[in-house]
Chain A
Amino acid sequence: MSDEACVPINWEVDVVTARQRGRALASELGFSRGDLALIATAISEVARNILEYAGHGEVTVATAQDGRRRGIMVVARDEGPGIADIALAMQDGYSTGKGLGVGLPGSRRLMDDFEIASEVGKGTTVTMRKWVP
């Protein structure tokens, strides 16, 4: 089983690679077709955020284990400008970039767990998990 993949995000095509790697792992973990679409979409959004705000970063997909629960963990990491107001960034429709402001709040709705850590001038790390039902 390909249990972990780290995809560097430098170009637009890397967004597609990241979501395809995530989908492949999620498929091996036994997620339904519906869940695969949710996971791939969430990965696409966080990878796109890296490109738009930081320019460079990486997306790691790995198997998550919590007691008897198994799932997928997605970590999107960058060393970009960071987010000054996370609560604001998590609001639907808020964006400082050219996006629609659905990326972060939308990804949270698509996944089961969603954590974001960010420091201005240091970077941002988004960690998301979805559990196999």
Chain B
Amino acid sequence: VDPSNFKTCEQSSFCRRSRKVQTSGSKYALIPGTLNTYADSLTADLVNKENHHQFAFKLEALVGSSFRLQIDEKQPLKPRYRVEHALKGQPQTGRIRVQRETDGEIVITSERKQGRLVVDSIRRYCRRLLKVYDHLFWFLFYYNLCFNYGHSWQETGSLSSPRISFRPQRTAGVYWQNAAETWVDIQTTETNVVSSLVNFVSGSRKTPPPAAHFISESGIVDAFILLGPKPLDAFRQYAALTGTHELPQLFSLAYHQSRWNYNDERDVTSVSAKFDEFNIPMDTMWLDIEYTDGKRYFTWDKFKFPQPLTMIKNLTELGRHLVVIIDPHIKRDNGYFFHNDCTERGYYVKTRDGNDYEGWCWPGSASYPDFFNPVVRDYYASQYALDKFQTVTSDVMLWNDMNEPSVFNGPEITAPKDLIHYGNWEHRDVHNLYGHMHLMGSFAGLQQRDPNQRPFILTRSHFAGSQRYAAIWTGDNLADWSHLQHSIKMCLTEAVAGFSFCGADVGGFFGNPDAELLERWYQTGIFLPFFRAHAHIDTKRREPWLFPERTRLVIQNAVLKRYSYLPLWYTAFYELEQTGEPVIRPLLAHYPLDKEAFGIDNQLLVQDRLLVRPVMQQGVGKVDVYFPSVDDKKNGDLWYDVDTYQRQEKSGYVSVSVDEYKIPVWQRGGSILPKKERQRRASTLMINDPYTLIICLDRQGKATGSLYLDDEKSYAYRKGHFIHVDYEFSNGQLINRFIGKPNYKTEAWIERIVIAGLERVPNGATITVNGVTQQLEVLPHEGHVVVRKPGIKMDVDFALKLNF
């Protein structure tokens, strides 16, 4: 993305004006006698002392230690836009209590004791927490975990994500819900912004608080304050508001092979065959815009793709999937049914004068359906029905790109702000929500097409709550080491902001990666939730076999590793749906007492089980890895190298040697994780394959961990057809405990249990299932032992005891 395409705050008049507002000397005041306290909220009226304009203020307590603050004009000349469809539903309110009102300080609590919102006084509150300046507002806020977005937020339109701040013992976040153009100025007195303190949560006032200034062009103040206190609490609080990903189909967590473009049917089929020839697993082939008939979505180029259904069958018969792109720009062509429908029925976004807006995008002259209109979303959804879109099957999934929306000849490459949407809202009011509305239509379309198959959609634009519908990628990156490094930073940021299903184009979209960069990119990509290789049409082909054998083998090795961990990824996504806890997490999510860990953005955790530090620099033989401490006394967890079971016992930086195959990853001592170690050409073919449990013991010789499994495809799990099980190891014994009733029939079984961290090598093991006891062989290895072939079915209770 070229930053010069986008305005800076200085170039934006509303931002330039608003930025000057000072934190002290407010011209706003509470109107005496208007403060009302209800069971779940406080309301009051505010006034601008200069122009006597009045505002309605409301502070609501929500369940789970969150507050919602809303401010709107009392008598607006024109109503202000309130964001719709971002929240999962109406937030559940809790009880609000004004606890103390002494000496100018108010403490407001929700029902949980730890959620205290301390307000110095209503007056000071109004001055410090909130300032109203005509149509914009600002207030104090915790510095967020500000990983570098580069400029991608411009492209992804993801500004309205929660900002979450971390500090030892206290974590809080703010979700600023606004769909208009927004700047956030962050003012901090500390150089290490990540460790900044915020006073109003803790009540301590030792250092001046950092402040954040939210500058939105239009809309109301609608801020959610998430009070933590632990990082995972803040994540859960945000998830409670905006929802989580649905459990994705397993295949979508496997490897995706994309390119702009696979040229024709023969190309698709031969690339798929080559993956088999070189025994590299691959689940999904992708088709970019060139498959269409002249960029008319819902059609195919009849010359390059004369038999799409045959091509799709060739893929699905091998357990593979196809994803096709469908963008929101509609070619203005009188021979195109979609365009004619939209024109006749008035479905397009309008200009100020009420005409259909025409912009320029891939098809040339194009118009944009107004997805804010529910009727348009319904129409759009209905186009996915198999009797309408007859050239795909219900196994063909979807890629929604360019939905910011991209307009090549528009200001800042998007739609002009004065376009008119459904409900007579201007584009300036709703811009950042356009992609989200597009997704709602797409998601409904796929669900209606096949109500028992979980949709898979990849989107570029997204808003708070879009995670309920789609996965994202980080946009058009570059085949460059710095962009490889960014892929982790960006996806971690998304993950703590509710968007776990994130990945970056492996290899880099623009440019040609050399062999080493491509190898390292694959090795990094396998540890991000969405794993897809993709490339620009002007780049050289880069399928793994086009590189020297070593590169092909390194890539094969990495992809196989991804497949072996699929049970962990799948479990993590199920648990995300249940709890709102991200699939990948920054170190601070689990090590909030370790200040050093706060700034680390080249490592990530998969749940709390794996610590990943990919090699993301050129030509290095060593990388520095940071092992976090669990307290402020440098005590750390035990970490086991997943390849060698070599153990890291101390916290702090450790220099680790790497060769070209090495992906530095450790499993946390105290965790158990499930794997599948058999190779298949696609993940869907692994469904009956046996599991391996990897048990890494903590200092007490204990470990726990979970496994989730189901049919990997349908919504039957919503009706209880799944197996979710906790494994627990202590005192030389492994037992399982089902979470809910195991209610899914599977051929899978446990073929191997690996245990690392034992003090002595057992000479065998005894397994008891349904009162029947059997002896098992235990094979000693360097740093670990392997219990050979326990043969346990996944849905039975068992106890396995090591014999010494």
User: Do A and B share a complex?
Assistant: no
- Tell me the A residues contacting B by CB distance below 8 Å: none
